[in-house]
Amino acid sequence: MPKHLIVVESPAKAKTMSKYLGKDFTCLASYGHVRDLLPKQGAVDTENDFGMKYVLLEKNKKHVDAIVKAMKKADSLYLATDPDREGEAISWHLHEILKAEDVLDDKPVHRVEFHEITKSAIQHAIEQPRKLSENLINAQQARRALDYLVGFNLSPLLWKKVRRGLSAGRVQSPALRLIVERELEIEAFKAREYWTIESDLATKGKDFVARLTHFNGEKLEQFSIDNGARAAEIDTALQAKAQGRLEVLSVEKKQRRRNPAPPFTTSTLQQEASRKLGFTAQRTMRTAQQLYEGMDLGHGEVVGLISYMRTDAVNLANEAVAEIRDAIKDRFGADNLPDEPIAYKNKSKNAQEAHEAIRPTSAARAPDSIKDHLKPDQLRLYELIWKRTLACQMVPAVLDTVTVDLAAGEGNVFRANGSTVVKPGFMAVYQEDIDDKPADAPEGAAEDEKLLPPMEKGESIELKVMRKEQHFTEPPPRFSEASLVKALESYGIGRPSTYASIISTLESREYVTLDNRRFKPTDVGRVVNKFLSEHFFHYVDYDFTARMEDDLDAISRGEKEWQPVLREFWTDFKNQVKEKESADRPGVEMMEEECPKCGKKLAKRLGRNGYFIGCTGYPDCNYTRNVDDAVGASNEPEIVPDRKCPKCESNLVIKRGRYGRFIGCSNYPNCKHMEPLEKPADTGVECPECKQATMLKRKSRYGKVFYSCARYPDCKYAVWNPPIKEPCPKCGWPFLSVKTTKRRGVEKVCPQKECGYAEPYEGEVPFAEPPKVAAGA
């Protein structure tokens, strides 16, 4: 009979650990959280020291029952949930349940903590157990109580003031504020014109480009040339002085070093997976969880492939660094290995989530050696982590940079920059991406990493052509998932482990939509943010949110007590909620126009499907119209001419829903027929799944274009990229699709991910969306 019961969170982890621990251990999974606050008002007793009323989660009752039953037969209990606050809280909840079930008696209870699922790490943890950490448990209880108090008091207020079903969260609301404020900044942005003058030059059979930096002895700033007439005047003057040649004034050569990026934290992994792999934060964390819990690598070997993936630490264990250095030496040579290991310092004020950065459990386990045992997402993410980890312990890259100044007459200077990699170092393995260049950065501000031809001072260089280029400053870009995660981290909003759920909540509540993988606030999101910013600014303030995270960190370190922190928050918060019960409804704008039906004033209001114009005399007067309809327009739906409903023969009418206009039956709700206002374009490509219809171009409810079978919903085959009638030359799939990315340009790719076929595409992109015209253009 097994002597010990060990409890983890996931069944995959339990399966892996069972193989390591042998027959003396029974390993069971809690399947995540086992208890939560009672989902009713009063679950946190604010009058009695914030006592909390917990209830067993029904979905996990059978798993808890199995743990209780196994504990009756076991001699001791090992709690091996994740090594963070949340994991500590789950272990505590399990302990409290087992104590209430009276199955612990005087049996020893151990808390074990490990950061990678390998045999040695688990055995080491079993040999060095500890007690449950009261500080970590209190910090997590305080966090849960704060989120509950905010949600259960602010959300009902939003239901009254905006509409039912909305929610406000302690960290979700500041995140929404970030997105809305960026959108307002974009809308308020006014483009400024500026011009640059460049010269196309050639020497020794090589072309290169130089940009004007000084004119008549004056250094040019970004807006020094702000109109076409001035640009033409300067261009004419320079042409006259240059006479087809520029003279080399100086050649400055420097050598510089570029250092590798530190190993991954949760935040940087989410950012890089978004930039390089196109993964959402949720997809990244889900895949990382699978790699951490263990994969079957054949021959009965199940092993965790990466260390714990919820961490804001960048340090690495000494034994891990030694193995990484061995792998670098074996794969890339001793000349790519620094004399001493590189140490990285944590930027986070309290890197409490784990003790190490995210790394492979074995640096010797290269991606190509295990690719046959991993799914495509798992392999791509593992490869990203493996490369970043090795690169962080490699020598810096060495680059030769050259700056050449060329004269077009006295006081007129053109500059050409170039660089070449002398020794790639870590860059041979991995380079970190960036999100967006600064909004005010001039065109060409980035270093031009190209090799310039050799030149000497005093040399005369052929001027092929001089060009004047018009530019306009651009507004700051909308947040991508990567840049939003980076902003959340920089402001101290939430914790890396919560970023995925923050983003998911904003989308599920329809506060934001994704437009070309960028976040755009909806009307509802704007109104909710406006209401919270006007009436609860203190609680959506970035500094306040960060200070609250600092308080939770202090509780986890034992420096603060959790009840006083909650008391200080609750005293002010409850008074403000009560005070704002009488606040005006947001999202209502009174208009001067009178109702054509009853003569009362009209107002612009936020409805279920966005803004509309309605009579203030409602419900006595039911006049409404769309915001973009003409003044005085009837609120009677427009009838579709020469057509009847195919189901009931009633008139078809044009309606507006939350995702735009569509055709529906006038006999609704008795008949629920609906169809798109615009007929989807037919690609002419046969559906490879049912082979009974062709693929149509459609739009999702969020406006994103995709291509699916005309027999939907009977056949649900769909792809995101435009299909073309051309079979895959590698795997024989009936068609290819055209994929466009910033990194690789336009390519023909196989829709089957496991195939991997891709090659450059030269033709026009089929069924491409027309380019969007910038506001004010």
**Which residues are the active-site residues?**
308
- For residue 770, is the peptide bond before it cis, meaning its omega torsion is within 30 degrees of 0? no
- Tell me the residue type at 573: F
Query: Strand pairing partners for 55?
Result: 36
Q: State the Cα–Cα distance between residues 150 and 162, nearest whole angstrom.
A: 17
Separation CA 544–CA 669 (nearest Å): 48
Distance, in Å, from the CA atom of 64 to the CA atom of 62, rounded to the nearest integer, reads 5
| Residue corresponding to tokens 């049912």 | 690
- Is the peptide bond prior to 669 cis by the omega test (within 30 degrees of 0)? yes
Tell me the C-alpha distance between 668 and 650, whole Å. Answer: 10
Contacts by residues 172-175 (CB-CB < 8 Å, ≥ 24 positions apart):
172/502, 172/505, 172/506, 173/528, 173/529, 173/532, 173/536, 173/539, 173/540, 174/491, 174/493, 174/540, 174/541, 174/542, 174/545, 175/484, 175/488, 175/493, 175/494, 175/502, 175/503, 175/506
**DSSP calls for 118-168:** SHHHHHHHHHS-B---HHHHHHHHHHHHHHHHHHHHHHHHHHHHT-TT---
> How far is C-alpha 218 from the geometric centre of its chain's CA atoms?
44
User: How far is the C-alpha of 545 from the C-alpha of 523, rounded, in Å?
Assistant: 24
* Measured distance CA(483)–CA(478) in Å, rounded: 9
Name the 3-class secondary structure at 6.
strand
Residue 673's nearest CA partner among 662, 658, 688 is 662
- Kind of pairing, strands 76-79 and 4-8? parallel
CA distances in angstroms from 188 to 184, 421, 484, 568, 772, listed in the order given:
6, 42, 20, 38, 18
Burial class, 592, CB count within 10 angstroms (exposed 0-12 / middle 13-18 / buried 19+): exposed
Nearest alpha carbon to residue 192 among 470, 477, 478: 470
Which run of H or E residues covers position 708? strand 705-709
Element at 485 (helix H, strand E) = helix 481-491
Our CA dihedral for 502, 503, 508, 514, rounded to 10 degrees, sits at: 160
Residue 521: CB atoms within 10 A of its CB come to 23
Joined together, the tokens standing for residue 206 give 């090589």
